[in-house]
């Protein structure tokens, strides 16, 4: 079970794609007109909604299930701009670093607006290697990170184990990434919901957006089961489900689900825990303030199959046992899976679309938590000034657009 604000979401529910998990028709009324209508109440849609509402705009965020119940609540919460960086990630790096730098101020504002602490932990991330081959591969990664100007520190095995004495003696080297912090998505979601509402924004859950309204070649609002909401700007932030709403407008984006399975272990005084996030080639381990140790995550091309599998769990448990032996005694508290919204180049899609009045913020792949403050700032900039931030210029939709097999349609359309 997952505790979420005053509600309890059974894990099984969260495993389903929102279309299946959607509850009854929206009980909250749909506002007739807002400045910004946001499709999707994951971390991306909620962050954008909250920041726009904080600027005094009228905002409605629509989610077809419960806020966070798409991919966001499946995330570990790592803000790993450095540890994630590898060859090929150059286009994303400036934006990832920009968003990482924004996190402390974002946290302060979010905690102040919501009154909810989000378990921001700044101990940093340790990437560990356990044999000669792994050390060689990690050294290559380290050299690349250094050339990219990242703040990273090479550790020999003794130094790595000094930082984390519970790791196996086989640890032979590591990289310490002091700026790669973490937060807890299970606290961020209720915090964003409360902060959005405090700033006067609407969150309308169990409200599927069935179409993006358009008139005279411009987006003018969204259609839901409970009626139309007219909007000056529509922001599409429906995670991995975003492509469905674009197709009727002749826009085809390469977005696919990349399944990640994960589990939570319960640490105790007897088992001990870690003080940093620890990565190996197989897994990551993230100790949370409430005593959970998150073990993640598989990377699987399985379409929208949300199953938690024996093979997935075996890979995670083998991975954790190989690096952190005292995990043997820990209780398994929860298991789950989620779908990373992944594009062809693993970078998000941010900014304008071919339909004026419709902005897009999706495709955040493994980094939606890291990239939330930057994404909210980028969309805020576009809505208020019409300009893209320098760091998001390389992330516009145009780089990925492909011809749509469905003819262009104007006027109100429906999908799903």
Ligand X SMILES: Cc1cc2nc3c(=O)[nH]c(=O)nc-3n(C[C@H](O)[C@H](O)[C@H](O)COP(=O)(O)OP(=O)(O)OC[C@H]3O[C@@H](n4cnc5c(N)ncnc54)[C@H](O)[C@@H]3O)c2cc1C
Q: State the nearest-atom distance from the C-beta of 238 to ligand X, in Å.
A: 4
* Distance of closest approach, residue 152 Cβ to ligand X, in angstroms: 18
Site size toward ligand X, by CB under 6 A = 43
148-207: which residues touch ligand X (CB under 6 A)? Answer: none
Contact code string over 291-320 relative to ligand X, x by CB under 6 A? -----xx-----------------------
* Choice between 161 and 364, CB closer to ligand X: 364
Phi-psi region of 340 (alpha: psi -120 to 50; beta: other; left: phi over 0): beta
Q: Identify the residue among 2, 37, 57, 62 touching ligand X (CB under 6 A).
A: 62
Residue among 9, 37, 50, 70 that touches ligand X (CB under 6 A): 70
Quick note: the x/- pattern for ligand X over 252-271, rule CB under 6 A, is --------x-x---------
Nearer to ligand X, 11 or 154 (CB): 11
Site for ligand X (CB under 6 A): which residue of 38, 54, 57, 64?
64
Among 37, 74, 246, 255, binds ligand X (CB under 6 A): 74
Per the CB < 8 A criterion, the answer to whether 47 and 193 are in contact is no
Least distance to ligand X, CB of residue 166, Å: 21
Q: Is 72 in the site for ligand X (CB under 6 A)?
A: yes
Cβ-closest residue to ligand X?
42
> CA 375, CA 392: separation in Å to the nearest integer?
9
- Per-residue contact track with ligand X, 14 to 43, x per CB under 6 A? ----x--------------------xxxxx
CB of 61 to ligand X, least distance (A): 9
Q: How far is CA 379 from each of CA 326, 347, 393, 397, rounded to the nearest angstrom?
A: 44, 16, 12, 14
Q: Which residues bind ligand X (CB under 6 A)?
A: 18, 39-45, 62-65, 69-72, 74-78, 208-209, 237-239, 241, 245, 260, 262, 296-297, 338, 340-341, 362, 364-370
């Amino acid at each position: 079970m997952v505790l979420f604000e005053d509600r309890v979401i059974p894990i099984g529910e969260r495993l389903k794609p929102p279309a299946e998990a959607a509850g009854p028709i929206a009980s909250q009324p749909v506002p007739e007109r807002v400045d910004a209508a946001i499709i999707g109440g994951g971390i991306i849609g909620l962050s954008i909604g909250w920041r726009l509402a904080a600027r005094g705009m009228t905002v409605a965020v629509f989610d077809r299930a419960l806020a966070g119940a798409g991919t966001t609540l499946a995330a570990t919460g790592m803000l790993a701009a450095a540890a994630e960086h590898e060859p090929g990630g150059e286009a994303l790096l400036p934006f990832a670093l920009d968003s990482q730098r924004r996190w402390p101020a974002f946290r302060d504002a979010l905690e102040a607006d919501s009154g909810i602490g989000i378990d921001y932990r700044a101990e940093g991330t340790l990437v560990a290697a356990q044999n000669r081959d792994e050390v060689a591969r990690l050294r290559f990664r380290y050299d690349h990170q250094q050339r990219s100007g990242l703040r990273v520190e090479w550790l020999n095995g003794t130094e790595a184990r000094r930082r984390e004495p519970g790791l196996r003696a086989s640890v032979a080297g590591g990289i310490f990434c002091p700026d790669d912090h973490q937060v807890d998505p299970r606290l961020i979601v209720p915090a964003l919901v409360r902060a959005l509402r405090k700033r006067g924004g609407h969150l309308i859950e169990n409200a599927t957006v069935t179409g993006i309204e358009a008139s005279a070649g411009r987006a003018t609002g969204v259609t839901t089961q409970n009626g139309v909401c007219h909007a000056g700007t529509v922001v599409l932030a429906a995670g991995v489900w975003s492509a469905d709403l674009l197709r009727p407008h002749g826009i085809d984006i390469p977005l696919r689900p990349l399944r990640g399975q994960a589990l939570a272990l319960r640490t105790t005084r007897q088992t001990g825990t870690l003080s940093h996030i620890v990565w190996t080639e197989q897994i990551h381990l993230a100790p949370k303030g409430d005593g959970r140790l998150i073990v993640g995550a598989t990377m699987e091309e399985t379409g929208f199959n949300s199953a938690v599998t024996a093979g997935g769990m075996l890979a995670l448990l083998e991975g954790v046992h190989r690096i952190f032996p005292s995990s043997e005694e820990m209780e398994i508290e929860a298991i789950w899976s989620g779908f990373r919204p992944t594009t062809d180049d693993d970078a998000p899609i941010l900014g304008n679309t071919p339909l004026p009045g419709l902005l897009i913020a999706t495709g955040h792949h493994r980094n939606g938590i890291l990239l939330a403050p930057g994404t909210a700032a980028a969309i805020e900039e576009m809505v208020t000034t019409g300009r893209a931030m320098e760091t998001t210029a390389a992330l516009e939709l145009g780089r990925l657009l492909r011809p749509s097999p469905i003819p262009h349609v104007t006027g109100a359309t429906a999908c799903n």
